[in-house]
Structure 1
Amino acid sequence: MSDALPVLDDLRSESEELDRLVAELSHERWSLPTPAPGWTVAHQIAHLAWTDRAALLAATDPDAFGAEAGKAAAAPGSFVDEGAAEGAVLPPAALLARWRTGRDALWQVLSEAPAGTRLPWYGPPMAVPSMASARLMETWAHGQDVADALGVARAATDRLRHVARIGVRARDFAFAVRGLDAPGEEFRIELTSPGTGETWAYGPEDAAQRVTGPGLDFCLLVTQRAHRADLALRAQGPDADRWLDIAQAFAGPPGAGRPPKGGAA
């Protein structure tokens, strides 16, 4: 029995919420530009479908996934865009069906994975709960781009705790991917849940360096869906302050981020 059932349930809820946002869109609205340069609403959904299929391949045919990962390694700057572009040209109904079929198949496979299973991925192998959390993070983040394109304000939920946890755990990666030494000490991170108002706390209570603020804002920051200047996050300590400038929860090269609402960074 999988040890990822709680996060898988949250992943399904997150996917269904985004599905409701796009299911009744006109053909023209699928072509609306999103905040990601060059990506329309269709590109966002196509990317999710493409990544779900890659995760399904990793879970069911590791050798075949290894071949796909090799192709990605050979074109690190373009393979994500190419995957999104391939799906974005489909008619909206076909794209929506592809996304639904792929995410349902992945959910089923992950829910049946034995506890302790580790799956190959584009970086280190991932435990099943981590894979499910990563899929939730991407679904929420790309869903935010879709919502922004449509002018829709989404209600934040406590499903964001999974995104926040990934962002905290990816601290050292954010430094390393930029060729920087990671801080030698742990930070204390205290975030306010958008649903219950409880505190999500990470790291030692007596840490000298700290990050505090709304959980939603932290998730927007680490998924690079908003600029730090537009968020109510506070850092105490020089390394914590530097982290908020470069934080990213996703694998791959450093993201360009989003400009502040007042203009270019």
Structure 2
Amino acid sequence: MVDKTALVGALRSEGTAIENMVRGLPAEYWSRPTPAPGWTIAHQIGHLTWTDHVSSLSIETPEAFADIAAAYAAAPTGYVDDAASAYIGDDVDDLLETWSEGRRHLADLLDAHPGGTKLAWFGPPMSSATMTTARLMETWAHGQDIADALSLPHPATAALEHIAHLGVRTRGFAYTNRGQPVPATDVYVTLAGPNGEHWEWGPSGAPDVVEGTAEDFCLVVTQRRAPADTGLRTTGSAARYWLTIAQAFAGEPTATRRSALPTALPSSRPGDHA
């Protein structure tokens, strides 16, 4: 069983790490492009603000969330972009405070939520533990975009185990989301954690294997890196193809990015070097 309190703690810590990346940035840096096409750093924080908000609505006011989910289902193209943009105003400090307050509120709600009740989402309903994992995954992934845009380190932590677990669990979704049949072939995933941990999923005798670091695997399943741009190793065609379509997040199928960094970005944030 997952210790949800510890999981919520990991979500809080990741949010704090991302907040520390952007707090104190000059306002003009918020308009820097990130690896997500058309998205600036402000868009990344705006998106996290929106998704944390609608997650809270799913817990507190399911009827309000249902209206948003219906609107998304009616017009998915551009909806997420518009939702992120809606939070971007003239004052980036206001945006940061709105996200900071919202993510803390959501963490409190998730921590207090009873485990047996499913929560509505844009995909299948999920437990509060799974929603916490999903929020951890998305916060980490968008934090990676910001770290890439600013050429800042994004240290790997043991929380990657939860993101990797979600990446494995959503293997079937990656196929059905693209209208493809889910293969019956098992895949054994064996990963090295950042602190010497060893994490594995699937039968160890499976002919198809994915192996490497948990960080590389998480970057691939969140589509922040293409498999070829990591040190991941695969055995078998099922494992190899899966990584090309892996998608641990809900929504329309998206294309894996081949470049980690946009062009013409500074090598460091202001004040990092004398």
- TM-score normalised over the length of structure 2: 0.92
The residue that corresponds to 1:167 in the other structure is: 167
State yes or no: 1:51 paired with 2:51.
yes
Deviation at residue 260 of structure 1 after TM alignment = 4.8
Between 1:119-128 and 1:3-12, the stretch displaced more is: 3-12
Equivalent residues in 2 for 1:68-217, closer than 5 Å: 68-194=68-194, 196-217=195-216
Contact preservation (8 Å) 1:209, 1:239: yes
- Deviation >2 Å, runs of 4+: none
Amino acid at match of 1:228: P
Q: Distance in 2 between matches of 1:34 and 1:168?
A: 26
1:169-191 Cα distance to aligned partner (Å, 9 max, x none): 01011111112111103211001
Contact preservation (8 Å) 1:58, 1:65: yes
Deviation at residue 89 of structure 1 after TM alignment = 2.6
Q: Number of aligned pairs?
A: 260
Secondary structure at the counterpart of residue 86 of structure 2: helix
Secondary structure at the counterpart of residue 118 of structure 1: coil
1:182-238 Cα distance to aligned partner (Å, 9 max, x none): 1103211001101x2221100112112111111110000000111111111111111
Amino acid at match of 2:98: R
State yes or no: 1:255 paired with 2:254.
yes
Contact preservation (8 Å) 1:57, 1:64: yes
Contact preservation (8 Å) 2:167, 2:247: yes
Q: Which runs of 5+ in 2 are unaligned?
A: 261-274
Amino acid at match of 2:173: F
Q: Distance in 1 between matches of 2:90 and 2:196?
A: 42
Q: Using a 3 Å threshold, how does the CA distance of structure 1 residues 260 and 50 change in structure 2: closer, same or farther?
A: closer
Secondary structure at the counterpart of residue 212 of structure 2: strand
1:127-186 Cα distance to aligned partner (Å, 9 max, x none): 001000100101100001001111112211111111101100010111111121111032
Q: Distance in 2 between matches of 1:3 and 1:35?
A: 33
1:65-99 Cα distance to aligned partner (Å, 9 max, x none): 10110011111111110011111234111101110
% identical equivalent positions: 47
Amino acid at match of 2:68: E
Q: Distance in 1 between matches of 2:100 and 2:153?
A: 23
Q: Distance in 2 between matches of 1:44 and 1:229?
A: 25
RMSD: 1.5
Contact preservation (8 Å) 1:190, 1:212: yes
The residue that corresponds to 1:36 in the other structure is: 36
Contact preservation (8 Å) 2:34, 2:145: yes
Deviation at residue 117 of structure 1 after TM alignment = 2.1
Secondary structure at the counterpart of residue 253 of structure 1: coil
State yes or no: 1:231 paired with 2:230.
yes
Q: Distance in 1 between matches of 2:79 and 2:42?
A: 17
Q: Distance in 2 between matches of 1:65 and 1:200?
A: 35
Deviation at residue 3 of structure 1 after TM alignment = 6.0
- TM-score normalised over the length of structure 1: 0.95
Q: Using a 3 Å threshold, how does the CA distance of structure 1 residues 180 and 64 change in structure 2: closer, same or farther?
A: same
The residue that corresponds to 1:242 in the other structure is: 241
